[in-house]
Amino acid sequence: MARVLVTGGAGYIGSHTCRALRAAGHEPVVLDDLSSGHAAAVRGLPLAEGDVADPEVLASTFDRSGPFDAVVHFAARISVPESVSDPLGYYRANTAAALTLVEAAVARGVGAFVLSSTAAVYGHPREQPIGEDAPLAPTSPYGASKAMVERILADASRAHGLRYAALRYFNAAGADPAGDLGEEHDPETHLIPLALAAAAGRRPPLELFGTDYPTPDGTCVRDYVHVCDLARAHCLAVEALVAGEPGGVFNLGTGRGHSNREVLGVVEEIVGRPVPAVEAPRRPGDPPELVADPRRFRERFGWEPGLSELRTIVETAWRFARSRWADGGAAPGAPTGA
Ligand code: UDP
């Protein structure tokens, strides 16, 4: 049993990870400022409301709820285009805040740290699938802000013996099969929730960004990994690091790519209605293809992404979306109050 500080635990991947940690017998304590997370997503868990970048908030969380065996750090800003227009805000929220947290973890003798990282650290890699040893060449401040945190962890590991796992997610998607926990970004920018809402007639037609990529059907190819498989991966990483595994950097994906058109086809099958879509120009910064080589994490931690078939991802996301709409929740991307 590990006591785990989960920053950003009320967010999408964070809340699923808290649930997985609990199911495995651990004790997650959530630190979240609720700027984008939802308190309801962590109902029943200890929740400290505050900013992870604030040393006083961290000190009081460690004093009141520690000691912790591990820290899992999700709290961050996640929009690539927003990071281009507000780079300094991203370096503050993602890099400076993580530095403050790593300092606190080292000072308090926490031995294990799991970082929510991203495939965006690779930029536009030439070779697919992408192994962890591919060069780090982020093309956005978002990707750079996470690559810097990875470097901070590598150096803290060498100097202070902090064991860490930087988990580079490919495309996180899907929802808990129970239907009560899922993806609720505001504004929503991700393909699957937007396509589901468009098919349900709850949003205007989807804009399909770019149909002239050098891919089999001209649309971008991504490696979708189910959020519950990601949650389980964090749990395995915590357990291994606490037990003394040295850690490192790891891709979390399936090794299979799906084009945007293929995703829309599966959404149509599951919803039973066409996805109204209009072809639109490429979205700046989108690489044509991002597919993980996930072998390192699978082999080292015995991880099996068993829910990450695209159909299962879309089915669970659809179940969650319908339950939110039935509760009166707005469609993703709809103006507040719609
Ligand atoms: N996409 C799209 N229309 C949308 C949202 C996304 O065509 O309204 C495309 C996007 O350009 C990319 C893919 O869907 O090729 C996955 O995008 P998403 O934002 O879901 O994840 P990302 O790959 O950016 O992390």
CATH number at residue 21: 3.40.50.720
322 in a structural domain: no
Report yes or no: 182 and 38 within 8 Å, Cβ to Cβ: no
With a pLDDT cut of 90, the percent of the chain lying above it is 94
Range of the structural domain that residue 15 is part of: 3-172+226-252
| CA atoms of 237 and 246, how far apart (whole Å) | 10
Residue 273 has pLDDT above 90, yes or no: yes
Residue 262 has pLDDT above 70, yes or no: yes
CB within 6 Å of ligand 1 — which residues?
171, 189-191, 194, 206-209, 220, 222, 260, 283, 286
Which candidate, 255, 223, 239, places its Cα nearest to that of 165? 239
Nearest atom within ligand 1 for CA of residue 220? 15
Pairing of strands 289-290, 221-222: parallel
CA of 13 to the centre of ligand 1 (A): 18
26 in a structural domain: yes
330 in a structural domain: no
Residue 202 has pLDDT above 60, yes or no: yes
Strand partners of residue 161: none
pLDDT mean over 295-306: 97
CA of 191 to the centre of ligand 1 (A): 5
pLDDT of the residue at 226: 98
| CA atoms of 135 and 116, how far apart (whole Å) | 19
Residue 238 has pLDDT above 70, yes or no: yes
173 SS3 class = strand
With a pLDDT cut of 70, the percent of the chain lying above it is 97
25: left (phi over 0), alpha (psi -120 to 50) or beta: left
91 in a structural domain: yes
Strand partners of residue 6: 30, 72
pLDDT of the residue at 45: 97
Residue 217 has pLDDT above 90, yes or no: yes
Instruction: Report the mean per-residue pLDDT for the chain.
Output: 95
pLDDT of the residue at 330: 66
For residue 90, indicate whether it is catalytic: no
Q: Which of 117, 170, 183, 190 to mutate to test the pocket of ligand 1 (most atoms within 8 A of CB)?
A: 190
Report yes or no: 146 and 198 within 8 Å, Cβ to Cβ: no
Kind and range of the H or E run holding 3: strand 3-7
Q: How confident is the model at residue 285 (pLDDT cuts 50, 70, 90)?
A: confident
Residue 133 has pLDDT above 90, yes or no: yes
pLDDT mean over 98-119: 98
pLDDT of the residue at 337: 30
Report yes or no: 334 and 287 within 8 Å, Cβ to Cβ: no
pLDDT of the residue at 334: 47
DSSP for residue 265: H
Q: Could you report the per-residue pLDDT of 63-89, keeping only the tens digit for each?
A: 999 999 999 999 999 999 999 999 999
DSSP for residue 91: I
Q: Could you report the per-residue pLDDT of 153-199, keeping only the tens digit for each?
A: 999 999 999 999 999 999 999 999 999 999 988 889 999 999 999 99
pLDDT mean over 257-283: 98
pLDDT mean over 258-269: 98
94 in a structural domain: yes
CA of 88 to the centre of ligand 1 (A): 24
pLDDT mean over 273-279: 98
pLDDT of the residue at 8: 98
pLDDT of the residue at 307: 98
121 in a structural domain: yes
138 in a structural domain: yes
State how many domains the chain has: 1
312 in a structural domain: no
pLDDT of the residue at 331: 65
Name the residue with the closest Cα to ligand 1, atom 16. Answer: 191
